[in-house]
Amino acid sequence: MSRSSQRTTRVGPASPTSRRAGALDVDALIDDPATGIIVCCGSGGVGKTTTSAALALRAAERGRKVVVLTIDPARRLAQSMGIEALDNTPRPVTGVRGEGHLDAMMLDMKRTFDEVVLSQASPEKARQILANPFYIALSSSFAGTQEYMAMEKLGQIHRDAREAGTYDLIVVDTPPSRSALDFLDAPERLSSFLDGRFVRLLMAPAKGPAKLMSAGFNLITNALTRILGAQFLKDLQTFVTALDTVFGGFRQRAQQTYSLLKADGTAFLVVAAPEPDALREAEYFVERLSEDDMPLAGLVINRASPEPAGTLSADEAMAAAERLRRAEGLDGSVGTPVAAGLLRLHADRVRMVLRERALRDRFATAHPQVETVVVPALAGDVHDLDGLRRVGDLLAAGA
């Protein structure tokens, strides 16, 4: 069996004869030198940023040269790694044990866009673009720009790493909710925008001599000028023309990055919590990755309720609590003995564990090829490297 078939799964629809996959071997994944990119995706609030950071730290302490890129605007990653703030420049993480190395960075959407302009245009043209009001709006807040720039930054890091040998593993922490996979659509969306009829109409003056312009086109532009104003239309035309000339290269690079995400050196990890909504979102991610033929390494279920000690069932615990209450001659208004209260807590814990187990079993039945690791909930928040190491240990313990 080849390395890629052992490490990742090209997810397909489940069949009645499919065999259920085993536990996800996280250490085998990060130790494999052929693993060059790990993409963590999932809905919000499931511990995706912490999982990404823990994987990156564990890989570094096992000898890899790692950079972790967060696209999530949350600041927890910087805090847990002892860095005052993250930005578009990789920052070294101090305190990493062993011979590996770890850098961390956070996607700065506008700065990445600016870097593309400066690298693709002449200095004079770059100044015009950077000052254009439409560019400023697009690079700062336009819907989808974050995903476009995530593709650009990932491709940039990968190219630089290959040329300079700076990193041999890139860990990507994606935005929350279903938008986490929107960067897969970035090349197609950008192409659709650049090739749209309205954009081609606005670019017509720059692409052909005036004598070729039709009376109909002049009629449209005159109408737009009356409605929007001459300067507004001029700024828009200037921006669209620059977008086509400058970002034709970006479109090509984005498509190359998309191909990189489908390659054997990439592994997607879907992160979820043992909750109905989170696991439904996880199913969406698995199915979407399957549709795009992306390499899925497995599922991480975070914050699972720890298994209760002993073998007492929930019903047995509640019956025992009731017998204690009657034996003490107490009613509900007075209170219950400590032992009875502990028995009820035990019953609640057992029921919670059973509910979570049923949810995991339902997911496994629907997607039997997906390897899974279950990470129990910690007593407190993760806020330093020791906490990330603990999460890394729990991720690896599933194997």
Higher-confidence residue of 311 and 31: namely 31
Instruction: Flag whether 5 is in a domain.
Output: no
Calculate mean pLDDT across residues 33-60.
Answer: 93
CATH code, domain carrying 262: 3.40.50.300
Instruction: Flag whether 161 is in a domain.
Output: yes
Q: Are residues 197 and 330 in the same domain?
A: no
Q: Are residues 184 and 319 in the same domain?
A: no
3-state secondary structure string, the chain? Answer: CCHHHHHCEECCCCCCCCCCCCECCHHHHHHCCCCCEEEEECCCCCCHHHHHHHHHHHHHHCCCEEEEEECCCCCHHHHHCCCCCCCCCCEECCCCCCCCEEEEEECCHHHHHHHHHHHHCCHHHHHHHHHCHHHHHHHHHCCCHHHHHHHHHHHHHHHHHHHHCCCCEEEEECCCCHHHHHHHHHHHHHHHHHCCHHHHHHHHHHHCCHHHCCHHHHHHHHHHHHHHCHHHHHHHHHHHHHHHHHHHHHHHHHHHHHHHHHCCCEEEEEEECCCHHHHHHHHHHHHHHHHCCCEEEEEEEEEECCCCCCCCCHHHHHHHHHHHHHHHCCCCCCCCCHHHHHHHHHHHHHHHHHHHHHHHHHHHHHCCCCCEEEEECCCCCCCCHHHHHHHHHHHHHCC
Q: Give the total number of structural domains in the chain.
A: 2
Q: Are residues 202 and 316 in the same domain?
A: no
**Is the pLDDT confidence value at 72 over 70?**
no
**Is the pLDDT confidence value at 330 over 60?**
no
Q: Identify the band that residue 313 occupies on the pLDDT scale cut at 50, 70 and 90.
A: confident
Q: Identify the band that residue 164 occupies on the pLDDT scale cut at 50, 70 and 90.
A: very high
Q: Are residues 142 and 234 in the same domain?
A: yes
Calculate mean pLDDT across residues 218-235.
Answer: 50
Calculate mean pLDDT across residues 342-356.
Answer: 88
Instruction: Flag whether 10 is in a domain.
Output: no
Q: Are residues 290 and 321 in the same domain?
A: no
Q: Are residues 348 and 268 in the same domain?
A: no
**Segment 121-137, tens digit of pLDDT:** 888 888 888 888 777 87
Instruction: Flag whether 398 is in a domain.
Output: no
Calculate mean pLDDT across residues 60-87.
Answer: 83
Q: What whole-number percentage of the chain has pLDDT above 90? A: 37
What's the chain's average pLDDT?
79
Q: Are residues 28 and 148 in the same domain?
A: yes
**Is the pLDDT confidence value at 386 over 90?**
yes
pLDDT value for 333: 41
Domain that holds residue 36: 18-305+377-392
Instruction: Flag whether 370 is in a domain.
Output: no
pTM for the full predicted model: 0.79
Instruction: Flag whether 263 is in a domain.
Output: yes
**Is the pLDDT confidence value at 378 over 80?**
yes
Instruction: Flag whether 9 is in a domain.
Output: no
Q: Are residues 344 and 322 in the same domain?
A: yes
Q: Are residues 201 and 328 in the same domain?
A: no
pLDDT value for 133: 79
pLDDT value for 387: 93
